[in-house]
Amino acid sequence: MKTMLLSLALAGCSAQSILSAPPALPSVKVHLASAATVGPAAFVPATVQAEQRAALSTRLAARVQEVLVHEGSRVEKGAVLVRLDDSDLRSQLRAAQAALDAARSQERRLTVLQEQRAATPSELETAHSQRAAAQAQVDAARTALGYSGLRAPFAGVVRTKLLAAGDLAAPGQPVLELEGLALELTATLSPVEAAQLHAGASVAFEASGSPGTARVTAVSPGGDPVSHRTLIRARVVEAPPGLRQGDFARLSLPGAASSRTSLPRTALVERGDLTGVFVAREGRAELRWLALGDESVTSVSVRAGLRPGEPVIDNPGALRDGQPIEVVDGR
Q: What is the pLDDT of residues 60-95, one digit of tens each?
A: 888 999 999 999 899 999 999 999 998 888 898 999
Read out DSSP for 34-48? --EEE----EEEEEE
* Cα 176 to Cα 226: distance, rounded to the nearest angstrom: 34
Task: List all residues 6 or more positions away from 125 whose beta carbon is below 8 Å from its beta carbon.
Answer: none
Fold for the domain defined by 24-39+259-331: 2.40.420
CATH 3.40.50.300 fits 41-51+182-256, yes or no: no
**Directed axis angle between helix 121-146 and helix 87-115, to 10°?**
160
Q: How many CB atoms lie within 10 A of CB 40?
A: 11
Tell me what pLDDT residue 257 has: 47
- Mapped onto helix, strand or coil, the DSSP state of residue 179 is strand
CA 47 to chain CA centroid, Å, is 13
Average pLDDT over every residue of 303-314: 82
- Does position 331 have pLDDT exceeding 60, yes or no? no
Reported as a single tens digit per residue, the pLDDT across 47-63 is 999 999 999 998 888 89
User: Boundaries of CATH 2.40.30.170 in the chain?
Assistant: 41-51+182-256
Tell me what pLDDT residue 42 has: 61
* Cα 147 to Cα 143: distance, rounded to the nearest angstrom: 7
Query: Which amino acid is it at 307?
Result: R
Tell me what pLDDT residue 130 has: 93
- Mapped onto helix, strand or coil, the DSSP state of residue 218 is strand
Average pLDDT over every residue of 108-129: 87
Tell me what pLDDT residue 227 has: 62
- Does position 184 have pLDDT exceeding 90, yes or no? yes
Q: Tell which residue, 230, 245, 210, has the closest CA to residue 47.
A: 245
* Cα 262 to Cα 38: distance, rounded to the nearest angstrom: 7
**Is the model more confident about 24 or about 320?**
320
Helices of type H across 241-292? none
- Does position 286 have pLDDT exceeding 50, yes or no? yes
- Does position 39 have pLDDT exceeding 80, yes or no? no
Phi, psi of 324 (to 5 degrees): -65, 140
User: Boundaries of CATH 2.40.50.100 in the chain?
Assistant: 54-81+148-178
pLDDT band at 255; cut points 50, 70, 90: low
Mean pLDDT across the chain: 83
User: Boundaries of CATH 1.10.287 in the chain?
Assistant: 87-145
**In contact, 68 and 83? CB cutoff 8 Å:** yes
pLDDT band at 18; cut points 50, 70, 90: very low
* Cα 234 to Cα 51: distance, rounded to the nearest angstrom: 9
Tell me what pLDDT residue 11 has: 47
Average pLDDT over every residue of 259-268: 80
Average pLDDT over every residue of 103-132: 88
Tell me what pLDDT residue 155 has: 93
Average pLDDT over every residue of 104-130: 88
**Is the model more confident about 84 or about 260?**
84
User: Boundaries of CATH 2.40.420.20 in the chain?
Assistant: 24-39+259-331
Answer CATH for 54-81+148-178 from 2.40.50.100, 3.20.20.80, 3.40.50.280, 1.20.1740.10: 2.40.50.100
pLDDT band at 223; cut points 50, 70, 90: low
Q: Tell which residue, 309, 230, 313, 306, has the closest CA to residue 28.
A: 313
Average pLDDT over every residue of 154-171: 91
**Is the model more confident about 221 or about 44?**
44
Say what percent of the chain tops pLDDT 90.
Answer: 30
Say what percent of the chain tops pLDDT 70.
Answer: 85
Name the β-bridge partners of 291: 304
- Does position 38 have pLDDT exceeding 90, yes or no? no
pTM for this predicted structure: 0.53
CATH of region 87-145: 1.10.287
Q: Max Cα separation, the chain?
A: 116
221-228 long-range contacts (CB < 8 A, ≥24 apart) are: 223/191, 223/194, 224/188, 226/274, 226/289, 227/188, 227/274, 227/289, 227/291, 228/190, 228/191, 228/289, 228/304, 228/305
- Does position 305 have pLDDT exceeding 70, yes or no? yes
- Does position 166 have pLDDT exceeding 80, yes or no? yes
Q: Tell which residue, 227, 199, 215, has the closest CA to residue 288.
A: 227
